[in-house]
Amino acid sequence: MTWVGYLVMAAILLAIGAWIYSVVGKIAGVARRGKSSRRDEALFVSMFPDLQPHFHPERLVEFVRAQRSGKRAAASRTASATWKNPPGLGVHAVEIEPGHLRVPYKMRDESGALLGQFLYDEIPEGGVLRVGEGKLTVNVMDKIPRVRYWHPRREFKWSQKKGWAFATPLADAHDSDSSYSSSDSSSHSFSTSRDDGVSPAPVGGGGTFDGGGASGSWDDSTSTSTGTDTSSDTSSGAAAAADTSTSTSSSY
């Protein structure tokens, strides 16, 4: 074999080696992102028990889209309506009380028992659900849906592409090496977990909040609801107490 043949063979071997290295790197990256995603889901469950099991942000995107599409029963200001099998909530039915603003929604099982309730408002970007002291703002009008949760003691942001960002004492303790700030949040910094320098992946996708070609952090300036609405949000807690006599279990 001539020296030209050796060079060709060496080039082929280098190309094969580079391809193998790339494939192994991608597999390892997927594994790390999957681990981070599972950890973030576990943090969501442990840090936000009042939102379990009906208010996962990915499912709320389904619910608000269905709500805005008119799939539910027509709203009434004088009589309640029932919405069977509402998408995203995982309940048998939702009883919608009369009203126009902050409409009470009561989630019920097959026997009619109360599973939980919330107040709902439609906004230009999507919808707002008030659960106890907390408020979930669901944006479904942007190309990439996102959900923000405000509570006097804990907050999070979730994006279908960028994943989770938590702002709670537990998140700060776990994830002190990475923070994301938001001008319209509380004094906490938004933190999210990392694994060997890899940012967590969202449910069903990868990426980071400010990486992956993004030009900046989340732009939530279009939202009409902010985390300062504390006095009025407590009304949902009072609404919950009114229906406890017919409930076998409640998330309040």
Beta carbons of 139 and 62 less than 8 angstroms apart: no
**Cα gap 113→66, rounded to integer Å:** 23
- The CA radius of gyration of the chain, in Å to the nearest whole number, is 23
Asked if omega into 53 is within 30° of 0 (cis), the reply is: yes
Tens of pLDDT, residues 150-163: 999 999 999 988 99
Name the token pair of 79.
């009589």
**Cα gap 162→203, rounded to integer Å:** 9
Summary mean pLDDT of the chain: 72
DSSP 8-state class, residue 196? T
Element spanning 45, H or E: helix 3-47
In this predicted structure, what is the pLDDT of residue 7?
Answer: 79
In this predicted structure, what is the pLDDT of residue 150?
Answer: 97
Q: How far is CA 127 from CA 135, 168, 171, 248, in A?
A: 10, 24, 26, 28
Sorted by sequence, the CB contacts under 8 Å of residue 133 that are 6+ apart come out as: 151, 152, 230, 233, 234, 237
Strand order across the beta sheet in which 81-84 lies: 81-84, 93-96, 103-108, 114-123, 126-131, 134-139, 146-150, 155-159, 163-167, 190-191, 179-180
Tens of pLDDT, residues 1-49: 687 777 778 788 888 877 777 766 666 555 555 667 799 999 999 999 9
**Cα gap 149→139, rounded to integer Å:** 12
Q: Which residue has the tokens 């069977």?
A: 84
**Cα gap 64→60, rounded to integer Å:** 6
Tens of pLDDT, residues 68-104: 987 665 556 677 899 999 999 999 999 999 888 899 9
